[in-house]
Chain A
Amino acid sequence: MSVFFDVMLWLLFGIVVVSTLSQLALYASAALELRRIRSRDRHQLWRRMLSSPLAPKITVLVPAYNESVSILDSVNGLMALTYPNLEIVVVNDGSSDDTLDVLVEGFALSPVGPVYRHVVATERVTEIYRSPEDARLIVVDKHNGGKADALNTALNVASGDLVCAIDADTLVATDALQQLVSPFLSSDETVAVGGTIRLANDASWKNGQVSELHAPRSLLVGAQAAEYARSFLVGRIAWGPLGGNLIISGAFGLFRRSSLLDVGGYEHESIGEDMELIVRLRRHGYETGKIARVEFTPDPVAYTEAPTSLRTLARQRNRWFRGLLDVLSRHRAMIGRPKYGSAGMLALPYFVVVEALAPIIEACGIVAIAIALAWGVIGWESLLPVALVYLVGIGASLLVLLLDDLAFGTYRHTRDRLRMVGHVLFEQLIFRPMTIVWRLWGLRLFLQGRTEWGAQERRGFTERTATA
């Protein structure tokens, strides 16, 4: 019996060490890459040129399902973007609430007939609405088919060379698109560019825009803020020089439309459609011999709301984990194959070990240790190395916050930083085990073949602006 617990302890120790060491290596890579990106972006002053109406046309794709609370704010925020050649396609994906009515009334829309190019197959479009007052806005009403289907519909309707996929509850900084478009101008090989997403739950607002970020008051949101900072630094920036960037958040990313159409648009059946798309774009690039560059530009910022209730958060996290497992399973042929370059040899194996397997092994290890401690098979001193690795995790998270602060000046008050230290402790010691439970729940649902999203709650930016 003791041998079994020893093995479990070794496994737990091993996986946490591998996970922590790989994260530390990625932090180092992120620090170097940040320097390069800052220097690169400093020399891409396209502001004046990109205020020309001849700038490449961007279509913003906004899938909306039961978003009546936040949709008006989101669309108004998009209309306020300063990018000069813009089109906004909102797709009402068969909402059961009054999302469409809110849009029709809010923008004085009238039906214009469902005429568009059916390039990617989607659920049936019932009507397209346009506003006589602002020709940039197109609202599409269609039967429910999920987020990927809504995005594909928007892709069919879009006329821009570049398309920006955002979530309906995302608020984009007014000059974000100017910066996001630069890598497309610099290289024809660029197929996708992502920007940073920050949580605006406790932000200060001015003229409908976030003027200053504050560390969230809620522990739950604070833990997510610490996680977001780490995820964007490690998941996006650090993978840049390693050529393994596989994620551009579905909440804010710019794509070359022709590249999306080449790979058939978003995958309807996938629950992690944003990561799946990037992996497919890169896979297509490797298989056809065309370089598909995926860039990340940290400065263009979009803001979103983090779930504030455990229930919603649990649903979100189990969905994310199912999405990850789905992508890894769909593209398992790429894993460990030199033909797929750094994506196949580095990034995907990392996702398998650190993101997919680690939580499962960690959970097994924690349960085994708890039982072993209860039965007296091992003593408390055996936990020291494991505790050490968790504490190293805390230190590493604080380093990320420091890096984030130095690079972007995220928080401007010591009070906020103190709060973030508390959030990091909470995140590593309490939130992380909670996410393991949610992931296991996600694993169960994935094995059952469940692909539903689950309901999400929305507060809307107006409410937050009013309360801020």
Chain B
Amino acid sequence: MTPPALPLVELSTVLILVGVVAAGYLTAGVVNDMLRHRREARRDRIETDLATVMFQSEVQAAEAAGRLADMPHGAVFDLVQRLATDLGGDADERLRQLVSTAGLTRDIRRRLNSRSWRRRAQGAALASLLPPGDPGRWLLLSDKRALVRARAAESLEQDDASELAPTLTSMLHDESEAVRFAAQQALLKGDTRVVDAVRAYLGQPHSVGTAYALEIAANFPDPRLTQAIAKHTKATDPRERAIATRGLGPWLFEPEIFRELLNDEAPLVRATAATTVGSRGAEIMAADVGRLLRDPSWEVRRAAGLALTKMGPAGTMTLRVYANDNDAYAADMAQQVLATAEARYRTTSNQHRTRVEAAA
């Protein structure tokens, strides 16, 4: 048996090859640096022009729009896409005009109907720049790709979200979490027109979308949702009970319901109930909330302590009593909360005194 031999390859040849790869690495790095600098410079120019289009005078905006029309559409798209989801008002309208005058509308439409999901995802993010009422704006909400549906929902504007509320609520139980989350965020952007759709959804049998809809209802200042929310304070999922508790606070304050929630088996619900009662400033329930200072869960004790600071003299009195409690954790929490409240009071009164003295 002889050692493996490769007569055609000399060591020197291999060394040269390694040298070539090393030189290639260095050269490619330099070329890459140059290309990156060019890309960055172009991006800076586009960003400047986009800012001009959105925020400067109409004459300057028109000039900038002309320059942008001559830029490669792909590069402009990338930046417009990022801006399109973050803007609103006048700037958004200017951006829409730019898209129309620079001939980008056709490109967006082409992306909406592309066979590549990546291009459709890009189109979905830009669809809000199509003219109002254009069906292309919500075409991709029913796309077969979850990511595209999510992007389409994410980029909806307030008006679209309100108008499409029934479609969006049906997306709350989509098989993909991304779509459920995006639909929820879109509905939260909507106005009072989404209320009926959310209320109807909460009246339907329980599904994976119930918690998402409850969260929307809890964040929506509308008394029409109260009854639909109240029903869910008895849900089997503690998370849903907690959201319902939070949502109920501003509209339906019945001590008996809240007493029950303060004694719920889940710490999350007890803590949320304490916070909600505190934000109502319901002195009548100070004793019930005070009892939670002895709760085994720190979250509940903290929520109870902070709630008591918002419950007027009754809350303060309760905290003082518990500051000397036999339960060390209850006493500690009460003392911490009192100390923080006193420090805040001292800071505020000092600031007030300084202002009064300065005014005098």
Interface residues of A (CB under 8 A from B): 3, 6-7, 9-10, 13, 39-40, 42-46, 48-49, 52, 54-56, 110-113, 115, 128, 130, 132, 135, 182, 184-188, 378, 381-382, 384-385, 387-388, 391-392, 394-395, 398-399, 401-402, 405-406, 409, 411-412, 414, 417-418, 421
Contact with A along B150-164 (1 / 0, CB 8 A): 110010000000000
A99 to chain B, nearest CB (A): 21
CB contacts (< 8 Å) of B146 on chain A: these are 186
Q: Is the CB of A405 within 8 A of B332?
A: no
- Identity of the chain A residue whose Cβ is nearest the Cβ of B121 in the assembled complex: A43
* Residues 267-311 of B contacting A (Cβ, < 8 Å): 296-299, 301-302
Q: Name the contact of B176 in the complex, choosing from A9, A187, A388, A401 (C-beta under 8 A).
A: A187
Q: Is the CB of A391 within 8 A of B17?
A: yes
Q: Is the CB of B33 within 8 A of A412?
A: yes
A19 to chain B, nearest CB (A): 15
Q: Is the CB of A391 within 8 A of B176?
A: no
26 A-B pairs with C-beta separation under 8 A: A6-B1, A10-B4, A40-B118, A42-B118, A43-B118, A43-B147, A45-B125, A52-B188, A110-B332, A112-B301, A130-B302, A135-B299, A182-B178, A185-B181, A186-B178, A384-B10, A387-B14, A388-B6, A391-B15, A391-B17, A392-B14, A395-B21, A398-B21, A402-B28, A405-B32, A417-B29
- B340 proximal to A (CB < 8 A): yes
Q: Name the contact of B154 in the complex, choosing from A48, A54, A384 (C-beta under 8 A).
A: A48
Give Cα A130 to B337, complex, Å. 14
Q: Is the CB of B11 within 8 A of A384?
A: yes
- B81 proximal to A (CB < 8 A): yes
CB contacts (< 8 Å) of A39 on chain B: these are 118
Which of B3, B18, B33 has most chain A Cβ within 10 Å? Answer: B3
Give Cα A417 to B25, complex, Å. 8
Range, interface on chain B: 35 or more
Q: Name the contact of B177 in the complex, choosing from A45, A185, A385, A402 (C-beta under 8 A).
A: A185
- Identity of the chain B residue whose Cβ is nearest the Cβ of A183 in the assembled complex: B178
Q: Is the CB of A45 within 8 A of B298?
A: no
Give Cα A181 to B14, complex, Å. 45
B46 to chain A, nearest CB (A): 17
- Identity of the chain A residue whose Cβ is nearest the Cβ of B119 in the assembled complex: A43
Q: Is the CB of A54 within 8 A of B85?
A: no
* Residues 133-172 of B contacting A (Cβ, < 8 Å): 146-147, 150-151, 154
Q: Is the CB of A115 within 8 A of B181?
A: no
- Identity of the chain B residue whose Cβ is nearest the Cβ of A399 in the assembled complex: B21
- Identity of the chain A residue whose Cβ is nearest the Cβ of B28 in the assembled complex: A402
Q: Is the CB of A411 within 8 A of B29?
A: yes
Q: Known interface pairs A115-B297, A186-B176. Does A405 touch B154 (Cβ–Cβ under 8 Å)?
A: no
B132 to chain A, nearest CB (A): 21
Give Cα A13 to B82, complex, Å. 53
Give 16 A-B pairs besides A39-B118, A402-B24, A411-B29 with Cβ atoms closer than 8 angstroms. A43-B122, A45-B151, A54-B185, A110-B336, A111-B332, A115-B297, A185-B181, A186-B176, A384-B5, A385-B6, A387-B11, A391-B18, A405-B28, A406-B32, A417-B29, A418-B26
Q: Is the CB of A10 within 8 A of B3?
A: yes
Q: Is the CB of B336 within 8 A of A398?
A: no
Q: Is the CB of A113 within 8 A of B177?
A: no
CB contacts (< 8 Å) of B185 on chain A: these are 49, 52, 54
CB contacts (< 8 Å) of A112 on chain B: these are 298, 301, 329, 332
Q: Name the contact of B215 in the complex, choosing from A54, A135, A399 (C-beta under 8 A).
A: A54
B70 to chain A, nearest CB (A): 24
Q: Is the CB of A406 within 8 A of B118?
A: no
Q: Known interface pairs A52-B185, A409-B32, A421-B26. Does A388 touch B9 (Cβ–Cβ under 8 Å)?
A: yes
CB contacts (< 8 Å) of B151 on chain A: these are 43, 45
A42 to chain B, nearest CB (A): 8
Give Cα A16 to B268, complex, Å. 58
Q: Is the CB of A115 within 8 A of B298?
A: yes
Give Cα A391 to B332, complex, Å. 67
- Identity of the chain B residue whose Cβ is nearest the Cβ of A44 in the assembled complex: B147
Q: Name the contact of A414 in the complex, choosing from B17, B26, B150, B181 (C-beta under 8 A).
A: B26
Q: Name the contact of A45 in the complex, choosing from B3, B6, B85, B181 (C-beta under 8 A).
A: B85
Which of A10, A13, A110, A112 has most chain B Cβ within 10 Å? Answer: A112
